[in-house]
């Protein structure tokens, strides 16, 4: 089934976002493991794996719509030198993803591709959950102070 070119371009844009997020989260996860923060490592790695699943879904949908998945495009990856910067960079990335998915959902509706719209809504729900988890970490750091927060991540 040939898909709308604007929607295919948007799906490839979202794919670039997901591929970027995978790399950012996996580097943050490995940095946390290196620093001995096993719980943060696991949380970041889990999020990276979820982003991989999103990329897989987008690739599958692009192929279904007879498009070509572009897996060589990445956005700027923002690696934090410490935990607060990592969490803030991840929050910024998720904020951008949520906006992009909302815009893509509107476009899918405009071109009357409701199956793609359903896929995008499911991914958006995951991105909303990611944002909630990140904001929870930010709140915990604020309430506990960074040293106490990090002590709980060992």
Name the band, by pLDDT with cuts 50, 70 and 90, for residue 104. Answer: very high
pTM, full prediction:
0.94
Name the band, by pLDDT with cuts 50, 70 and 90, for residue 35. Answer: very high
Tokens of 153: 């991540």
Rounded Cα distance between 72 and 100, Å, is 19
Tokens of 106: 């509107």
pLDDT in tens, 8-19: 999 999 999 999
Q: Is residue 1 pLDDT above 90, yes or no? A: no
Q: Give the residue from 141, 26, 21 showing the smallest Cα distance to 84.
A: 141
Query: For position 47, what pLDDT does the model report?
Result: 98
């Amino acid at each position: 089934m040939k898909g709308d070119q604007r929607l295919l371009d948007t799906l490839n844009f979202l794919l670039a976002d997901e591929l970027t997020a995978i790399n950012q989260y996996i580097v943050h996860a490995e940095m946390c493991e290196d620093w001995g923060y096993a719980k943060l490592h696991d949380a970041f790695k889990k999020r990276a794996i979820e982003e991989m699943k999103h990329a897989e879904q987008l690739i599958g949908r692009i192929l279904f719509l007879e498009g070509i998945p572009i897996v060589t495009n990445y956005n700027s990856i923002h690696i934090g030198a410490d935990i607060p910067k990592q969490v803030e960079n991840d929050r910024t990335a998720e904020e951008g993803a949520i906006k992009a998915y909302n815009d893509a959902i509107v476009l899918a509706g405009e071109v009357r591709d409701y199956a793609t719209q359903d896929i995008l809504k499911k991914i958006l729900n995951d991105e909303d959950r990611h944002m909630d988890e990140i904001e929870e970490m930010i709140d915990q750091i604020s309430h506990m102070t960074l040293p106490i927060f990090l002590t709980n991540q060992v």
